[in-house]
Amino acid sequence: MRVLENRTLLLLVIAVSLAFAWILWPFFSAILWATVLAIVFAPLNRRILRSIGPHPNSAALATLLIIVTLVILPLSLVATSLVQEATSLYDRIQSGEFNPGIIFQQLRDALPSSVTNLLDRLGLTNLDAVQQRVSDVLKQGSQFIATQALNIGQGAADFVFGLIVMLYLLFFFLRDGSALTKRIVDAIPLPPEQEPALFRKFTTAIRAIIKGNILVAMAQGALGGLIFWFLGLPAPVLWGVVMGLLALLPAIGAALIWVPAAIYLLATGFVWQGVVLFIFGALVIGLVDNILRPLLVGKDTKMPDWVVLISTLGGLATFGLNGFIIGPVIAAMFIAAWDIFSESTRAQDGR
């Protein structure tokens, strides 16, 4: 009889949990980012709480204001500039003012004959085909950003409401984070020694992904956009964002943008600009990962690059933009769960 009661209770818990998740699903993004920001800024909230005394509401509010100032407002400004530049680029391509075929022709004319002969053998000198391919890519990318901006504009009320929900949840996650964590850990049916370890690995993975991947990528994108602006290249915010996104993917990186740009500058006679871009890209953008990541992440978990790449791409394909976080976090928890399982198995076997 007792076994039947336990099974019934378990089924009830699963059913109401699924129902609760179902009604919360429209606010999945708000809940996800409130959780992520609460985990990342929890140390700052604890530091503020220690400095002002036992006033959790004031500490959470101060942390929330810092997050809005340092994260929300700058991202909003960048997003606005990105939409403007993407829309302008799309209009220039549509009107024919920006012609990738001409740029390719200038590059081809500046290359040595041995290189052009190799391109001929590879079939890469068909200007019409290259122009069409590059134009299609640029059109699709700029049109996508412009379309998303239009969708956000049309659903501005939903977007603002989601942002308010996220900030509202973030306040309570910051204020009650320790109590919520304890309740979640206590509810997990695992041995007492494994519950804190699993949750600790989860929070470590979140912070490592944010600080070690996203912040580093944002720094590389910002530096790339800054040097593009300094050299007078068009759409520096747009290309800076593209470099930041590419920097999230190991083995690809921001060099996929700044190297061709530097080659184009050198090939078209802008020698000092091309040299400056090469030097800045190699010594600053390229090395910022090696400098910033150890400072930001420290001894936090660092997954292999191939795991980060495949989990990020899989996360993007499955969850959209939220996949930048969800994919690597799932991968990190997969590794952590198997590590705990292996340690438990060795302990039981006495090894």
Q: What is the pLDDT of residues 311-345, one digit of tens each?
A: 888 887 888 777 878 888 888 778 777 877 777 77
Q: Is residue 14 part of a domain?
A: no
Instruction: Spell out a b/e string for 209-221, using b for 16 or more CB atoms within 10 Å of the CB, else e.
Output: bbbbbbbbbbbbb
Mean pLDDT of 274-293: 82
Burial label, 276 (beta-carbon count in 10 A; 0-12, 13-18, 19+): middle
Instruction: Say if 19 falls within a structural domain.
Output: no
Confidence of residue 192 (pLDDT cuts 50, 70, 90): low
Inform me whether the pLDDT recorded for 74 exceeds 80: yes
Element (H, E) at 289: helix 288-297
Rounded Cα gap, residues 201 and 230, in angstroms:
42
Query: Domain end: 132, 167, 187, which one?
Result: 187
Burial label, 245 (beta-carbon count in 10 A; 0-12, 13-18, 19+) = middle
Identity of the residue numbered 222:
A
Q: Is the pLDDT of residue 21 over 70?
A: yes
Q: Mean pLDDT, the chain, as a whole number?
A: 75
3-class SS of residue 188: coil
Percent of the chain clearing pLDDT 90 (strictly above): 4
What whole-number distance in Å separates Cα of residue 220 and Cα of residue 245? 9
Residues 174 and 219 in one domain: no
Residue 198, by phi and psi: left (phi above 0), alpha (psi -120 to 50) or beta? alpha
pTM: 0.72
The pLDDT of residue 251: 63
Going by C-alpha positions, the residue among 136, 225, 167 that lies closest to residue 30 is 167
- Nearest Cα to Cα of residue 328 among 342, 341, 314: 314
Higher pLDDT, 309 or 140: 309
Same domain, 175 and 206: no
Read off the pLDDT of residues 137-147 as tens digits, 9 standing for 90 and up.
555 555 555 55
What is the domain count for the chain?
2
Long-range contact set of residues 20-28: C-beta below 8 Å, sequence gap at least 24: 27/162, 27/165, 28/322
What is the model's pLDDT at position 64? 92
**pLDDT of the residue at 99:** 57
pLDDT at 66: 92
Weakest-pLDDT range from 18-27, 228-237, 313-322 = 313-322
**Do 162 and 235 share a domain, yes or no?**
no
Q: Decide if 228 contacts 240 (C-beta within 8 A).
A: yes
Domain encompassing residue 115: 24-187
pLDDT (mean) for 222-226 = 89
Residues counted in the chain = 351
Q: Is residue 17 part of a domain?
A: no
Q: What's residue 286's pLDDT?
A: 79
The verdict on 128 and 202 lying in the same domain is no
> What is residue 295's predicted lDDT score, i.e. its pLDDT?
64
* Residue 158 included in any domain: yes
Q: State the pLDDT confidence band at 171, using cuts at 50, 70 and 90.
A: very high
Distances (CA, A) of 237 to 68, 96, 98, 224: 21, 22, 18, 9
Residue 238 is predicted with a pLDDT of: 83
| Together in a domain, 142 and 112 | yes
Q: Note the pLDDT tens digit of each residue in 60-73.
A: 999 999 999 988 88
User: Which residue type does 332 have?
Assistant: A
Where a domain ends, among 120, 152, 187?
A: 187
Final residue in a domain of this structure, among 151, 169, 187: 187
* Least confident among 18-27, 214-223, 335-344: 335-344
Q: What is the pLDDT of residue 144?
A: 57
